[in-house]
Structure 1
Amino acid sequence: MKAVILAAGYGTRLQRDVVADGSGKFSHLVGTAKPLLPVGRCALISHWVRALNASGCVDRIYVVTNALYFAAFEEWASHFTNVLVLSDQTESNEGRLGAVACLHLTVKHFHIDDHVLVIGGDTLFKEDFSLSRVKERFSDLQAKSDDSCLVLSYQCKDDETRKYGILEVDGDLRVLRMKEKPLPSETTSRRACPCFYLLSKMSLPLLDAFIDEKKEAPIEDKDAPGNFVSWLIQRKPVYVHTISGRFDVGHLASYIECDLYVREHLQDAESYMV
């Protein structure tokens, strides 16, 4: 299995918050890509690399970023033996390719012909999350059907459905549909879906079809990775693995919350997410 970490965003909200913050405590974060933000004792993305390697889930990790942050990611990746960095060649948020296009670019550039674990580079999970358990669940699904894919979900609050993609599932935890930021009244489900997907190698050709279908579509259709998952659900069996929650570093307050959790509340840093 291969991992692709999506890290091509420009972090405009976070950078705006950091610049506007009057305390000066976060001035060192100016110009830092979200996955490279210090969380606890290391960069946010380093928690993923350590856990992926410790769990033995993948044999190669690919990080796709933009031209602005490429050099910083290259320097960071030099400390690992199985991490390769790819630039999408964009230089501004306005010119971004979008997350799905970046995933497609990575699969094509590195000629990936394997199961792919897709991870949002600005996301971490709570301590009860385990890559090993996710891998076991995926293996069980694959034994029954080799085109099965797996996504995560956690319970969100009623007033949070409009922030996330919400999954509706059947009794076997197969996803029936994903509703993008629905009103609470539009679905009884509260299953929010973070950017963490195990895509079977059988599903990878569908990236070509999705990108071709959306080539004239606005950037929003190719940006949120959940758009591809929602499209995929209608074409391949996609199942759910339930977790307790996540940290989504989108602005300064969410970064502070994530950093505080790792520094002060993590019980076992060595086994975190393994």
Structure 2
Amino acid sequence: MKCIILAAGYATRLYPLTKNTAKPLLKVAGKSILEHILEKVERVTAVDEVYIVTNEKFFNSFVDWVNEYEYSKNITVINDETTTNDNRLGAIADIQYVIDKAGIDDELMVLAGDNLFDFELTDFVSFYMEMGADSITTHEINEIEEIKRTGVIEVDEDGKVVSFEEKPQHPKSNLAVPPFYIYQKETLPLIKQYIQEGNNPDAPGNFVPWLIQHKNVYAYKFEGQRYDIGTVESYERVQTLFF
């Protein structure tokens, strides 16, 4: 299994903090957000290679960081060659870029590089293996304004995803979808098909409602919290929660 960490955004909503620092390299409780994520990935024995996809602006920052970071798995930093928020590829196009550049033909874990979370990725992988199908994560959010800002799913009694809406005005459930996914090897060509059909290449969750029309996708429901660091306020909040 390969792991792609999405880190090619420009995080303009976090300026001035991210004007010269990539968001995943911001510190939380003395460690970068990226390090918090990689510690979880390290415990997943199935993952044998990690790819961090970033942009031209922050490429050297990630390369320097990785060169100084001691880690048990090989980490490759890939430059998607974009230079501004205006010409960014979008998360799904970045996934395809890495698949092409690295020649990935394997199971694939995809993680956002700006989310902190309580659950263990080892449990998520166990769920994926048990289901034998593409898997996403979900957790309950009961604050209506908060859940309107994320992807929302409905599942059947077996945990199969039957509907997915990105940032719905009228959420059909309280099941939010963070940007953590595991795709089967056979699903990788569908990412290219999705893009070639002219679908939205931006937020990684946009692929899921398309995918459930083609394949079964199951949702791993985790307990605990996840923290999407998208604004200065949310960054300041996690500083008070992590020690």
**One-letter code of the match for 2:145?**
D
| Counterpart contact for 2:91–2:201, Cα < 8 Å | yes
Structure 2 counterpart of 1:137: 127
Give the Å deviation of 1:162. Answer: 2.0
Give the Å deviation of 1:260. Answer: 2.6
Structure 2 counterpart of 1:160: 146
Render the CA deviation track for 1:208-236: whole Å, top value 9, x for unaligned: 1011111xx6xxx2111111112111111
Give the Å deviation of 1:30. Answer: 4.6
**Is 2:80 the counterpart of 1:100?**
no
**Is 2:187 the counterpart of 1:203?**
yes
Rounded to whole Å, the distance in 2 between the matches of 1:224 and 1:136 is 26
Rounded to whole Å, the distance in 2 between the matches of 1:107 and 1:121 is 17
**One-letter code of the match for 2:155?**
V
Task: Map 1:29-178 onto structure 2 (within 5 A).
Answer: 30-78=19-67, 79=69, 80=71, 82-126=74-118, 129-142=119-132, 148-156=133-141, 157-178=143-164
Q: Number of paired residues?
A: 238
TM-score (norm 1): 0.83
| Counterpart contact for 1:161–1:183, Cα < 8 Å | no
Render the CA deviation track for 1:218-255: whole Å, top value 9, x for unaligned: xxx21111111121111111101112331000011111
Structure 2 counterpart of 1:192: 176
5+ long unaligned stretches in structure 1: 19-28, 143-147, 264-274
Give the Å deviation of 1:205. Answer: 0.7
Structure with the higher fraction of residues in helix conformation: 1
**Is 2:205 the counterpart of 1:213?**
no
**One-letter code of the match for 2:196?**
D
Render the CA deviation track for 1:168-211: whole Å, top value 9, x for unaligned: 11110100010121123x52x11110100011111101011011
**One-letter code of the match for 1:171?**
E
Structure 2 counterpart of 1:245: 225
Structure 1 counterpart of 2:6: 6
| Counterpart contact for 1:4–1:103, Cα < 8 Å | yes
Question: Which region of structure 1 is more displaced relative to structure 2, 167-176 or 131-140?
Answer: 131-140
**SS at 1:222 equivalent:** coil
Rounded to whole Å, the distance in 2 between the matches of 1:11 and 1:57 is 31
Render the CA deviation track for 1:55-107: whole Å, top value 9, x for unaligned: 32411000000000000000111124511000110100001000000000001
**One-letter code of the match for 2:31?**
C
Rounded to whole Å, the distance in 2 between the matches of 1:51 and 1:153 is 17
**One-letter code of the match for 2:209?**
S
The structure-2 alpha-carbon separation of the partners of 1:124 and 1:233, relative to structure 1 and needing over 3 Å to count, comes to same
Q: Which has the larger radius of gyration?
A: 1
Rounded to whole Å, the distance in 2 between the matches of 1:59 and 1:88 is 22
Rounded to whole Å, the distance in 1 between the matches of 2:44 and 2:103 is 24
Rounded to whole Å, the distance in 2 between the matches of 1:196 and 1:34 is 17
Identity of aligned residues (%): 37
Question: Which region of structure 1 is more displaced relative to structure 2, 107-116 or 49-58?
Answer: 49-58
